[in-house]
Amino acid sequence: MSDTLSDVLRAVRLTGAVFFTVDATEPWVTETPAAPEIAGSIVPGAEHVIDYHVVTAGACWGGIVGEEPVRLLAGDVIVFPHGDTHVMSSAPGMRGNPDPHLYHRTEIQRPVAIRQRTGSAAHAEVICGFLGCDARPFNPLLETLPRTIHVRPQPGDQGVIGLFVRLALAESAARRSGGESVLAHLSELLFIEVVRRHLASLPPEQRGWLSGLRDPQIGRALGKLHDRPAHPWSLEELAAAVGMSRSMLAERFAHFVGVPPMQYLAQWRMQLAATLLASTALGLAELAPRVGYGSEAALSRAFKRWVGVAPAAWRQGKRNGTPRPAP
């Protein structure tokens, strides 16, 4: 399970970004714009940003605009994987004034300290951060995550989340050289831990890619495809490799993952190809065998069919920061 999850996180280029710290007394509110408005400013070249907040002292409320907010206590983490416009506030029902210019990296020093002190005794301290990633052409993790994930600390929690809070507070306060890089990597670790805890909390009947990872047989099938994506897999060979019949594998894989095994493999190959196009100078002839295609022409046809644009257009769009597959 962990290897497959790590494969996806590498392929979608998960990258920690800037930090904000909020130190405020009642009443206070901050509202974060939707991900498409700020993604390019926070992580240049990122298609998507995931927002998260860690309450380090006091209590507050957090939630997506238009939905019921969640009461958050010290040690809680709330994540908005799909980058919805959301509000963090001292009371439910409050609205802020989202300012996209606040997120331009070149305009202000990082991390940003937001202080709203009014003299009230009731205060809260919150660490806010972002993670950039690719959403296209295929991000199975992002597709399976809910719009909001709320994680509470576990009894005697000395794990990644507690460590994150302590280190992030120290780095934010010290503002030492390299601090932003440290905070970025800490945020990646935090997100992975949140995903792990979310996975552990899913009911047995839950469907989705993460639940498929947890299932012994489907998890093995996913692992096989991720270990050898360039291998000419057939449904028969994959079924034999995980000790299932063809029909049972096809049915159970689609039940959890939502698509048949060979369609999943094709989508995963497209994500690997897209990652290589964005991060290397490899030509299609060199890239094709790495992702399971026998020729440059075969890869080009498959890429355009699945992604909506030709590989060269995707690469150029990534360099310009504007890859946009056709509908």
Sequence ranges of the domains in the chain: 2-201, 210-320
**Residue 241 CB coordination number (10 Å):** 16
Which of the two residues, 323 and 136, has the higher pLDDT score? 136
Average pLDDT value for residue range 207-233: 94
Average pLDDT value for residue range 297-315: 93
> What pLDDT is stored for residue 1 in this prediction?
43
pTM, full prediction: 0.86
Which tokens go with 245? 């019949």
> What pLDDT is stored for residue 325 in this prediction?
46
8 A C-beta contact, residue 285 and residue 296: yes
CATH no., domain 2-201:
2.60.120.10
> Could you give the angle at which helices 261-279 and 235-242 cross, rounded to 10 degrees?
100
> Could you give the angle at which helices 2-11 and 179-201 cross, rounded to 10 degrees?
130
**Residue 61 CB coordination number (10 Å):** 20
Q: Kindly provide the b/e burial profile for residues 167-186, where b requires at least 16 CB atoms within 10 angstroms of the residue's own CB.
A: ebbebbeeeeeebbebbbeb
Put the strands of the sheet holding 29-32 in their side by side order.
29-32, 86-89, 59-64, 70-73
> What pLDDT is stored for residue 97 in this prediction?
83
CA gap 270, 279 in Å, rounded: 14
Confidence of residue 256 (pLDDT cuts 50, 70, 90): very high
Strand partners, 64: 86
Among 1.10.3720.10, 1.10.10.60, 3.40.50.2020, 3.40.50.620, what is the CATH number of 210-320? 1.10.10.60
Confidence of residue 227 (pLDDT cuts 50, 70, 90): very high
Same fold: 2-201 with 210-320: no
Which tokens go with 114? 């937001």
> What pLDDT is stored for residue 2 in this prediction?
44
CA gap 86, 96 in Å, rounded: 9
8 A C-beta contact, residue 53 and residue 150: no
Q: Is the pLDDT of residue 291 over 60?
A: yes
**Residue 150 CB coordination number (10 Å):** 17
